[in-house]
Chains A and B, each alone.
Chain A
């Protein structure tokens, strides 16, 4: 059981909330504005949060609602993207690994918003299909379908079905997951 004050707990979720905002908007200024709005709404409506439930899911839901509401208001099909997501490049294990991670980020950027968010929630944030479905206001089956379509699209874009590609990417993945340190250039 989490004994943190809900407002202190909120602060612990901010890095993940920002990562989610950046992956949705792909624009730093928009992501930060949306985060500001989300923090303000969550803080002032903290009495509506049920202790013991998933605060991260609650915060992601508020942020996601802000994102789609503002997008509808602006009547934009295509977001104003500044590649905040794909330009994020920390130290990578090796040259091949870095190139492959760039390819991965660019391919990820090409996915439709709904598939991108489903994959982020389930694949990166560790949400269950049910939690992701609740966050997105759809049925769990819809989330499964979006995740499957997103994986299929990435597989196609990155040519992961080809044995050679998987051998190369596996090397990169092993290095990434193994946290191998690389001297800075």
Chain B
């Protein structure tokens, strides 16, 4: 790689990372599936029950 290529490489890397962040944030914004929220409810209820016994 020559020093003249460096800014272009940096621009490309920035473009790739920013596109990735955009895709990743779209995926993060997806609604949490019921199976996960249901599981959390069960786990919290189990924890509460255990605390109640102590």
Whether chains A and B associate is: yes
Please report A residues at the B interface, Cβ cutoff 8 Å.
7, 11, 14-16, 18-19, 22-23, 32, 35-36, 39-40, 43, 85, 88-90, 101, 104-105, 108, 119-120, 123-125, 151, 154-155, 160-161, 166, 169-170, 173, 176-177
Nearest residue, chain A, Cβ from B22: A176
Q: How many residues of B contact A (CB 8 A)?
A: 29
Q: What is the CB-to-nearest-CB distance from A22 to chain B, in angstroms, rounded to a whole number?
A: 5
Given contacts A119-B20, A161-B12, 20 further A-B contacts (CB under 8 A): A14-B32, A15-B30, A16-B28, A18-B27, A18-B32, A19-B27, A40-B39, A40-B43, A43-B43, A88-B27, A89-B26, A101-B19, A108-B20, A123-B16, A124-B20, A124-B24, A151-B13, A160-B16, A166-B11, A170-B11
Taking the complex as formed, is B35 at the interface, i.e. its CB lies under 8 A from any CB of chain A?
Answer: yes
Known: A160-B15, A166-B15. A39 touches B21 (CB 8 A): no
Please report B residues at the A interface, Cβ cutoff 8 Å.
8, 11-13, 15-30, 32-33, 35-36, 39-40, 43-44, 47
Of B8, B22, B29, B43, which is in contact with the most chain A CB atoms at under 10 Å from its CB?
B22
- Which residues of chain A are near B33, meaning CB under 8 Å? 32, 35
Q: What is the CB-to-nearest-CB distance from A51 to chain B, in angstroms, rounded to a whole number?
A: 17
